[in-house]
Amino acid sequence: MSELRFPEGFRWGAATAAYQIEGAARDDGRGPSIWDTFSRTPGRVFQGHTGDVACDHYHRYADDVALMAELGLHTYRFSVAWPRIQPDGTGPVNPRGLDFYDRLTDALLARGIDPIVTLYHWDLPQTLQDRGGWTARETAEHFATYATAVHARLGDRVGTWTTLNEPWCSAYLGYGNGVHAPGERDAGSAFTAVHHLLLGHGLAARALRAAGAETVGITLNPADVCPADPDSAADAAAARLVDGLQNRIFLDPLLRAAYPDDVLEHVGRMVDPATFVRDGDEKLIAAPIDLLGINFYQPTYVAGRPGGAGSDAYPGTDGAVEFLPATGPLTDMGWMIEPAGLTRLLERIATDYPGVPLLVTENGAAFPDKAGSDPVGEVQDTDRVAYLDGHLRAAHQAIARGVDLRGYLVWSLLDNFEWAEGYRKRFGIVHVDYLTQRRTLKSSARWYQEVISRNGL
């Protein structure tokens, strides 16, 4: 296959999230988060798995940073656990919680790895949930206070800050269909949460900027929404609706300072937006950003059908939309493998929302360990190599077509706690044996190391 080079300065890295890898759920004054509560509630997570121990990264971070250095990562995206910093979500900071991220940051910098901090990857302090969580407006304000506290400690060494990871998941899976913490099921709550998450982002982004943060952004999981039949007007309308619910409801207020009218109208069938959107909010949400993080896993195909089943992850789509089942080769999540979706998505965002540099903050795949592969030697994950190779070619194609894509972060560095799926889904390029906490590079890690060193494929 022909050689493919990425632009000079392209940033190669990997991503993780606090609750998925840290463990140490009760160490050093950490308070409980909604994911502790959720995972300890029977029936919520596969086989009752929790993040209590996870990859024990809290105690093994130095070894994990050494692994990153071995792979040649330029950058590492990790999240800060809010309940380590403010155990109750408000009030005085817990210095021992900040100490951990201080040590981690220093370890990364000592190896020449540039940290990217995500301030919120879903682990809301339980105390704030008890006061309404993201359905309560005050949570947005508390989030900005927390962001300021983390920046005060790490801002002299961390240049790149993202506020939220995938607010779509927090709102729709957390408050809409209950698949994620806090497990609520109410369309009105989901839309209220969308707004307060965005408001929290805007307030935090502005506070970070005022404190001198170099690069401020947010990470979304926008969908590449495709009509089942490109010639069908009904399918196009369905695609437009889903695009509104997953993409424009976030991108428009963030980058155009206004919710789209068609989205407000759809939301209004379930809850009156005037009950949570106040004058001036959209302007606050549109605080300037320097970077937009894109997480991409698979495309979404929809058809417009009266009586269609819809999806409980997209409130109000029942009776109107049919989500097509994934086809072709699937990952262990049952997700489709269609790299062209990444090219389409990046081009679409660059076209419709020009002027913001993009970063792929997550892309990767879960595959089971193969029978016959030898975790003590190396896990032969050729399926993951093929997935990553295809998506890097797709990213390269977007760059060739003019998209300002600054880098690519693989999800994930380590096998980890895959939310409602527990530990049974493995996304890592590094294998984790949860009995011994032994890390073993998979062949995808060796392959990625080579990609980074050549800056291409």
CA distance 73 to 63: 14
Residue 419 assigned to a binding site: yes
Nearest CB to ligand PNW, comparing residues 121 and 439? 121
Residue 121 assigned to a binding site: yes
Minimum distance of ligand PNW from residue 429's CB (angstroms): 14
Q: 395-398 long-range contacts, Cβ below 8 Å, gap at least 24?
A: 395/342, 395/343, 395/346, 395/360, 395/363, 396/4, 396/6, 396/456, 396/457, 397/343, 398/342, 398/343, 398/346, 398/347, 398/350
Whether cis (ω within 30° of 0) applies to the bond prior to 182 is yes
Nearest CB to ligand PNW, comparing residues 16 and 135? 16
Beta carbons within 10 angstroms of residue 365's beta carbon: 26
Minimum distance of ligand PNW from residue 16's CB (angstroms): 8
Residue 297 assigned to a binding site: yes
- List of residues 6+ apart from 27 with CB closer than 8 A: 58
Q: Which amino acid is at 361?
A: T
CA distance 13 to 413: 9
Nearest CB to ligand PNW, comparing residues 88 and 332? 332
Nearest CB to ligand PNW, comparing residues 20 and 444? 20
Minimum distance of ligand PNW from residue 217's CB (angstroms): 15
Could you give the dihedral angle defined by the CA atoms of residues 428, 429, 431 and 437, in that order, rounded to the nearest 10 degrees? -70
Minimum distance of ligand PNW from residue 274's CB (angstroms): 29
Residue 122 assigned to a binding site: no
If phi over 0 gives left and psi between -120 and 50 gives alpha, with beta otherwise, what is residue 213? beta
Residue 416 assigned to a binding site: no
CA distance 120 to 118: 6
Q: 145-150 long-range contacts, Cβ below 8 Å, gap at least 24?
A: 145/90, 146/82, 146/85, 146/86, 146/89, 146/119, 147/119, 147/204, 147/207, 147/208, 148/204, 148/207, 148/208, 148/211, 149/85, 149/86, 149/93, 149/98, 150/80, 150/85, 150/98, 150/101, 150/117, 150/119
Minimum distance of ligand PNW from residue 419's CB (angstroms): 6
Minimum distance of ligand PNW from residue 453's CB (angstroms): 26
The catalytic site residues sit at: 166, 362
Residue 20 assigned to a binding site: yes
Nearest CB to ligand PNW, comparing residues 179 and 303? 179
Minimum distance of ligand PNW from residue 335's CB (angstroms): 8
Tell me whether strands 300-304 and 321-323 are parallel, antiparallel or unpaired. antiparallel
CA distance 157 to 152: 10
Nearest CB to ligand PNW, comparing residues 6 and 76? 76
Nearest CB to ligand PNW, comparing residues 184 and 418? 418
Cα-based distances in Å from 37 to 89, 150, 216: 15, 24, 31
Question: What does the binding site for ligand PNW look like in residue numbers (CB under 6 A)?
Answer: 17, 20, 165-166, 169, 221, 295, 362, 411, 418, 427
Annotated binding site for substrate: 20, 121, 165, 297, 411, 418-419
